[in-house]
Amino acid sequence: MNAPVSAGSGSAASVADRLRAALAGLLDGLPPRQAAQAVDRLIANYRGRTPTDAPVLRDRADVVAYAAYRMPATFEAVCAALEAFADAVPGWVPASHVDIGGGTGAATWAVSATWGGERPVTVLDWAEPALALGREIAAANPALRSAVWQRSRIGAALSIESADLVTISYVLGELTEADRASVVDTAAAAAQSVVIIEPGTPAGYARVIEARDRLIGAGFQVAAPCPHSAACPIVPGEDWCHFSARVSRSSLHRQVKGGSLAYEDEKFSYVAATRLPATPAASRVVRRPQIRKGQVLLDLCGPDESLHRTTVTKRHGPLYKEARDTNWGDAWPPPGQED
Ligand SMILES: C[S@@+](CC[C@H](N)C(=O)[O-])C[C@H]1O[C@@H](n2cnc3c(N)ncnc32)[C@H](O)[C@@H]1O
């Protein structure tokens, strides 16, 4: 995807570096075996889990494990979604942000990496230990110094102040069907723009599509990843729309997962919808491009509600070079080269 826009302090890369340093600091003094055990417990808790009445992140060990192990990946996935959204609303900068189910605040870091400068930020979550750790980590990010970390339960009673941008990142999967519907409706009623990110699995995609339908029903336009706000052309059960974000692995990752790979790819599904005037991508690259000798095969979701493959060859001139540089999740043709 294109470089994130940064309208103020600190580039996206420096925000990511600051987050990485803050997370590494959390593990200082924690015996590596204890950290790995906390991650194992967390993974076991999340595996096969259905929505419950109580937070999964119960104490500091849980949230340190979550932050060190998952936050770099959720941060990168949210950055990628926001970057695609920012491309569709060039020049727009959110003046306020509410992150629902924000936990340790990955999405607040991603918003500050995408649009520099300070803005009122509110993080809502029902897990106090997650909020406390999020506040602690956020001290390393000047844009988040005045963020408000507020205990709040998602449900029919949730009310949020109006905001330019609401994010709901990796949360819907922890909610009942009724709470999923009500949190999306609450976000739609309060915000100008709503960005929802879920794991890039068939189930995560299904939740994104459900949310997308509700946002369109509330009068929003889909700004990304879809080139249109009509029905998704993917036949349910046959495929799922998802993308991939590269995440540098921390030493804790390597310790828990084994192997020596320096990175891993986080798969995610998302929808970014808005009441603002938006220019969605002409088409979106929905698979990893296949580079062959003298040609690039691009699988695209197009404006005519269709999925199709296009082949770009050397005969296409400069567009061929663009195609070789194009990534899964990018707009096609690149903005400014539409015709
Ligand atoms: C997987 S974590 C995602 C955290 C963060 N948004 C991120 O992207 O890293 C899910 C978060 O949703 C919160 N959550 C789950 N159910 C909730 C509820 N009913 N009310 C408030 N928060 C909830 C959890 O406490 C947790 O912090």
Domains and CATH numbers, the chain: 12-274 (3.40.50.150), 283-332 (no CATH)
Q: How far is CA 273 from CA 14, 34, 103, 215, in A?
A: 27, 41, 22, 7
Residue 88: is it exposed, middle or buried by C-beta count within 10 angstroms (0-12/13-18/19+)? buried
Ligand 1 test: best mutation among 171, 186, 268, most atoms within 8 Å of CB? Answer: 171
Ligand 1 atom nearest residue 46's Cα: 1
Mean pLDDT within 245-265: 81
Residue 6 scores a pLDDT above 50: no
Q: Is 270 in the pocket of ligand 1 (CB under 6 A)?
A: no
Distance between CA atoms of residues 145 and 143, nearest Å:
6
Q: Please report the pLDDT score of residue 47 as a whole number.
A: 63
pTM exceeds 0.85 for this model: yes
pLDDT exceeds 80 at position 46:
no
In the chain, what percentage of residues exceed pLDDT 90?
A: 74
Q: How far is the CA of 154 from the centre of ligand 1 (A)?
A: 9
Do the Cβ atoms of 330 and 1 come closer than 8 Å?
yes
Give 194-243 pLDDT, tens digit per residue. Answer: 999 999 999 999 999 999 999 999 999 999 999 999 999 999 889 999 99
Strands 221-224 and 295-301: unpaired
Per-residue confidence (pLDDT) for residue 224, from 0 to 100: 98
- The answer to whether 267 touches 79, Cβ cutoff 8 Å, is no
Amino acid code (one letter) for 3:
A
The percentage of the chain sitting over the pLDDT mark of 70, rounded to a whole number, equals: 93
Examine the pLDDT at 91 and tell me if it is beyond 60. Answer: yes
Q: Which two tokens stand for residue 27?
A: 């593990």
**328-334: average pLDDT:** 96
Q: For the CA atoms of the chain, what is the radius of gyration?
A: 20
Cα 155 to ligand 1 centroid, rounded to whole Å: 12
* Partners of 64 in beta bridges: none
C-beta 174 within 6 A of ligand 1? yes
**Is pLDDT of 63 > 70?**
yes
Query: Residue 271's Cα: distance from chain center in Å?
Result: 9
Q: How far is the CA of 74 from the centre of ligand 1 (A)?
A: 12
Q: Is the pLDDT of residue 7 over 50?
A: no
**Which position has the higher pLDDT, 304 or 5?**
304
pLDDT of the residue at 327: 97
Residue found under tokens 């949360």: 171
* pLDDT in the model for residue 291: 96
CA distances (Å), 219 to each of 53, 77, 193, 228, in order?
Answer: 32, 26, 11, 14
Determine the distance separating the centroid of ligand 1 and the alpha carbon of 125, expressed in angstroms.
Answer: 6
Q: How far is CA 189 from CA 126, 153, 157, 220, 253, in A?
A: 21, 17, 14, 10, 39
Average pLDDT in the chain: 91
Per residue in 131-177, pLDDT (tens digit) is 999 999 999 999 999 999 999 999 999 999 999 999 999 999 999 99
The CB of 122 under 6 Å from ligand 1? The reply is no
The partner residues of 195 in beta bridges, in order of sequence, read: 167, 272
Which atom from ligand 1 is nearest to the alpha carbon of 71?
A: 9
- Whether 20 contacts 248, CB under 8 Å: yes
Residue nearest (by alpha carbon) to ligand 1 atom 10:
171
Q: Is 170 in the pocket of ligand 1 (CB under 6 A)?
A: yes
pLDDT at position 245 over 80? yes
